[in-house]
Structure 1
Amino acid sequence: MRVAPGLNTYHASVADIGYGFDAVQGTISRIRQGESVDLAKEMLVFDLDTLRISEKQLRPNFELAVKRANPDAFYLIEQSRHLHRQIFEAIKETIRLGRALLGPEWETIRANIEEIQAIPRL
């Protein structure tokens, strides 16, 4: 899928989103265990907002990749679209919870990490 004509190979894959969820869960777990995590809030906002970006990048690549699919793959394509909607809803909910947890601090932190987020995508 990542090498099909017209696809942006620097855009997110499903693996990127899986890694993002693992990163969020790892940060939360470390905080819950009482570990003193430097920049824990920044890590949490970075991971959650990066998930948001990855989800936005995944959809157009997926739709381009399946454009020329054979009819026998349509069922799997629809199942993948359904899974993507579930992933999107889970990301949306985690970001909502993160915003509720941090309040106005969320936007301040997000603005501070915005330039750092671009580095892995270059």
Structure 2
Amino acid sequence: SKFWEMASDEHGIMPTGEYKGQYDIQLERISVYYNEVAYGRYVPRAVLIDLEPGTMEAVRSGPFGKLFRPDNFIFGQSGAGNNWAKGHYTEGAEIVDTVVDVVRREVEGCDC
């Protein structure tokens, strides 16, 4: 989330997603990182994924937590405990379809 704090500061985006910048250059390339969902309201082009729900809750309850689309938070129920096989074959396998769907939706929303 630190990356999004820095990007938001550079582009004049408040934690609520509102543009409050002062310079035209801040809006010039804003579409690289953000989608405009309403006039002057921006959300990051981001999908946040973790098998540990506590990590996502920390981001969501942080100062920039309201900036993200709520349905772009994807998390498991118990984490993998730093065990690659558990993350790949069991816990991660349970959320992979959801991850693919959310990433597909974000890609389809791009104007590239």
For the criterion TM > 0.5, the same-fold answer is: no
Question: Which structure carries more helix by proportion?
Answer: 1
TM-score, L = length of structure 1: 0.28
Largest Rg, 1 or 2: 1
Question: Which structure carries more strand by proportion?
Answer: 2
